[in-house]
Amino acid sequence: MMPLLETLKMILKTFKLAIVLYASFWPMLSCADIGDDELLQRGEYLALAGNCHSCHTVEKNTFMAGGVPFETPFGRIYSTNITPDMATGIGAWTFEDFANSMRQGIRPDGTHLYPVFPYTSFAQLIDDDLLAIFTYLKSIPAITQSAPDNDLSFPFNIRQFLAIWKYLFLNEYVFEPDDTRPDSWNRGAYLVEALTHCGVCHSPRNFLGAEKRHSKMAGGAYSDKISGVGYRKWFAPNLTSAPTGLSLWSHEDTFSYLKTGRNSLVDSFGPMNEVIFNSTQHLDDQDLDAIALYLKSLPPIPVAESQPADRKTMGMGRTIYNLHCGTCHLPTGLGDPEMAPRLNQGSLVVQAQNPASLINVILYGPEEPRPPLPPKWLNPMDEFQYMLDDAEVAALATYIRNSWNNNAGLVTARQVAKQR
């Protein structure tokens, strides 16, 4: 017979092993009541909500294989491969590795990830959702593809410095519901602040590239691609209830915009088309309702007043508008349901503090969304990049931004030249 002391030691070792295993796999145990198929479906839905596709897919045949370039003030950064490829993707990662990357921005080898990957938002995701996303990503086809090397200037090419950045700006806390709010509001807050990471684009940033917490959702500048042109600055509008934000949008307007790309006030264009096409149109109505409820509850964050428009510029802009725009958008700026969207109050691109997006639309057209989103206009808008010079585009944008109860300030020829 085995001596009593050795028996006790074996029992103790077994007990310790059980504790280690439980600690490693407790997130999976918490989802034990969910079948594999249901967990995969949930993970796919959450990946759609998080819009993983847009940032990690260059072509259809390289789904989630990375290589998408991001232009930042510090240089160019490429997204990584998140397919289950063992060599170049996350095939060898454990759930703990994945959770660390999502919450702390750290790879399994301890390398820091650049915060162009929005782990500052994903840090709030609950364990069950992280596990579902991880399970889904492990199920998609593995693709062997390494991302190109980043092109960053010194000292931003030294990843070790990101430890200081994280100390200053990364809050590692999982989302906690507000007990004073209804469940639908909390669901919307979780989706907006964590999973869909709206603030990443819609918030201003400081000189180190971190979101300004006191101005969250008050609008932010970023770079994105324009087909056939290259990368240009865009401005994601204010999502608070400020006059330049969602103050004139109803709950139904917000829901409809996220579902179809249009509402009674505006139509999607440019980079937002991709967000709607790859993400928000796939969300169920309950989640879209929750997002709308939360966004409409955000208190107003006013922005600095813009330089007022002068009479000469307004006169020049009126002439150009009547010649090129008034037929479809109408002299009143109210637009036509079959021809063109309205340009009066409620149009976020017109009211935005920064006119970059409006300038892009005038120069290069709105880049309407692809099917299955509904068709919009009988005749697509013309590009004016070759038809109007910088001063004329500036005058036109100024007139639109300061007519029909709009009050968004002057646009200069210098601002237009930067978007060429």
Q: What is the pLDDT of residues 302-332, one digit of tens each?
A: 887 788 999 999 999 999 999 999 999 999 9
Write the pLDDT tens digit of every residue in 246-263: 999 999 999 999 999 888
Other CB atoms within 10 Å distance of the CB of residue 373: 17
Using alpha carbons, select from 157, 104, 99, 151 the residue that is nearest to residue 128.
99
Question: Considering the domain 311-419 in this protein, what is its CATH number?
Answer: 1.10.760.10
For 6-44, the pLDDT digits (tens) are 554 555 455 444 443 443 444 444 443 456 889 999 999
Using the structure block, give the residue that is written with the tokens 């009674």. 264
DSSP designation for 262 = B
The SS3 of residue 154 is coil
Distance CA 253, CA 167 (A): 39
Domain boundaries, the chain: 38-168, 311-419
**What digits encode the pLDDT tens for the residues 82-118?**
999 999 999 999 999 999 999 999 999 999 999 999 9
pTM for this model (two decimals): 0.86
Query: How does 37-48 read in b/e, with b if 16+ C-beta sit within 10 Å?
Result: eebbebbbbbbb
